[in-house]
Amino acid sequence: MNDARRGLREELAPAAVIENVQPRVDGGRFAAKRVVGEEVVVTADGFAHGHEKVACALRWRGPGQEEWNQAEMEALGNDRWQGAFTVDRIGPWQYAVSCWVDHLASWREGFLRRIDAADVRLAARMGAELVAQSAARAQGYERDQLSRLASQLSEEQEPVALRRLVNDEALFELARKHASRGGASETMEFPLTVERERARFSSWYELFPRSASDVPGKHGTFADVEERLDEIAAMGFNVVYLPPIHPIGREKRKGRNNVPLAEKGDVGSPWGIGASEGGHTAIHPDLGTLADFKHLVRGAKLRGMEIAIDIAFQVTPDHPWVKKHPQWFRKRPDGTVQYAENPPKKYEDIYPIDFDTADWQALWQELHDVVAFWAREGVEIFRVDNPHTKPFAFWEWMIAEIRREHPRAIFLSEAFTRPRVMHRLAKLGFSQSYTYFTWRVTREELTEYFTELSQDESREYFRPNCWPNTPDILPYHLQNAPPAMFRLRLLLAATLAANYGIYGPAYELAENRPRDPGTSEEYLDSEKYEVKHWDRKRADSLAPFITKVNAIRNAHAAMQSDWSLVFHPVDNPQLMCYSKRAGDDRILVAVNLDPKQAQAGWVTLDMEALGLNEHAAFTVVDELNGESYPWRGPRNFVMLDPNKTPAHVFSIKVG
């Protein structure tokens, strides 16, 4: 036998090919996203020339880890391979795939097809050389086993005995374990961002702190918000989002209903940031102090909730930056600062920041320092206002820098804009993204859009956060709409998406009055421009319904992610049916999209998606009211009266 060490030939020309690695975002330019505890399933095409068999391995490592973990991938057939690993901590991860010609497997496959005794013995000696090469790389007992196998394959034995040796799976896998991987092909190291679970599952409640007082006409404070935390927690929300909490500009301040000039006593818009008291790191004095804010943040955490704040990079004419850094703002031909406008509309109370300034590095650092300031004060969730109007490069840099020091930071992109722009922001690092759900109404629109969100490749990086309303948006279908429509839209947002939110008191009380009916989505007497008093004790409040829906979300793992969403056909276009599943936890939702009339129809269930036999008998339990119904097989009947409930939210009991 030839010297096995001379036959190792570690430096071989690459012979295997790797293609179509998934997940992969823009060829590996951007990171796919997961949360702690999730399994990352990686697939790839791996093959070589001729009839050579190949093997593939998955490599991965987490933050701060120098050594790579490695495991062989499973062959799925047709040159497709799959491997998986579980992420156990927050931060940047990497994974890669390698593929090499599996000379032992190729030899074994040919050996077992041979019939002639002399041919079998010759092939066995060829295999003995390969096994000897594996033995040379092994240690101790494993080396002894492989050396003995190599000797036995070299002996003049009967074909039956040789086949018995070759068919010993344990010995064969031991030989493969130590076989050469010379000439292996390697992919690039693909990035993976791992965040905490709240990036995947969250329920947001937005409220204006200045309207949190129970005393009509009194400006609310952080202490008033803290008084409301137990009530909000009891409703099942885990994120309390506050619009900007900074001093509000006085110069050019807008009045109620966005009139151009404020009257005495008008409080202005919280998004008009900056006054003599300070800018983006200052707190509006009527809300309290920084110590009061930190107390609120701690109070929320004690209740298993979080305070999210608004990051809005724009200023008022009296913001300190205007005088301190005039180079950060564009000038008009008359020498005055260029205010925001969308002709013919003018927003003279807002100065947009000029990101094209030659002083851009100092500007970027200042904006970074704003976010870092609040992160140091305990804020871990940031809702970012209009990020699509700022450069992409800035967000990629800023989010990465913040997460180096504050890896738990979550960023929500409020970008109601063109799809490619929204997706680019998500790729750059935003944890969650506002969506077009607000304007998707029909079954066709909802089915098409949420199929895209849950099944398209974009799900690797784009996490939807669905809002039926915002302080800026009273969509047309909610204008002068009955409470039934508000219940319907709430339920759709909360069950179609794992992340959702509402503009709180306004939604609880079904606020439906538009400023300009049919032509604008602005609220009449908008809270953006005045202190409101909300009578949350009203008998017609939707709070009990919202509480029930959130309780279902919090109790069922199936509701806490997006990828398992499946739509089931219904023969009535006013009805929609869909399901989510996490193992044996199955939730089936049947919705009446007509807020005025009862609708009935037959549902045809995708039994395979539900993990049920085609003709299985099972019980569906409506988690909204506790009623249960015996069902059998895929075809079943539903009837929904919107005056009683907009939907069935069924859990499925088998056996």
Dmax (CA) of the chain: 106
| CB-CB contact of 203 with 563 (8 Å) | no
Enumerate residues 6+ apart whose C-beta is below 8 A from 386.
312, 314, 414, 415
Is 270 in contact with 528 (CB distance < 8 Å)?
yes
Give the mean pLDDT of 610-623: 97
Distance of CA 320 to the CA centre of its chain: 36
Distance CA 26, CA 383 (A): 25
Three-class DSSP category at 607: coil
Indicate if the pLDDT at residue 146 is higher than 80.
Answer: yes
pLDDT exceeds 80 at position 5: no
**214 included as an active-site residue:** no
Does the CA dihedral 543-491-441-590 come out positive or negative? negative
**pTM, 2 dp:** 0.94
Nearest to 475 by CA among 444, 529, 435: 435
Annotated catalytic residue: which of 306, 318, 414, 460?
Answer: 414
User: pLDDT band at residue 14, thresholds of 50, 70 and 90?
Assistant: confident
Q: Is 102 a catalytic residue?
A: no
Find the catalytic residue in 385, 460, 521, 594. 385
CB distance 305 to 380 below 8 Å: no
**Cβ contacts of 509-513, under 8 Å, gap ≥ 24:** 509/534, 509/535, 509/536, 509/538, 509/540, 509/541, 509/542, 510/481, 510/482, 510/483, 510/486, 510/540, 510/542, 511/474, 512/474, 512/478, 512/479, 512/480, 512/481, 512/486, 513/479, 513/480
Give the per-residue pLDDT at 360: 98
Mean pLDDT of all residues belonging to the chain: 95
Residue 289 has pLDDT above 80, yes or no: yes
**226 three-class SS:** helix
* pLDDT score recorded for residue 7: 40
Q: Is 75 left (phi over 0), alpha (psi -120 to 50) or beta?
A: beta
Where do the domains of the chain lie, and which CATH numbers do they carry?
566-654 (2.60.40.1180)
SS3 call for 608: coil
- The 10s digit of each residue's pLDDT in 53-108 is 999 999 999 999 999 999 999 999 999 999 999 999 999 999 999 999 999 999 99
- Over range 46-50, report the average pLDDT: 94
Q: In the structure, what pLDDT confidence band is assigned to residue 344 with cuts at 50, 70 and 90?
A: confident
pLDDT above 60 for 3: no
Per residue in 188-217, pLDDT (tens digit) is 999 999 999 999 999 999 999 999 999 999
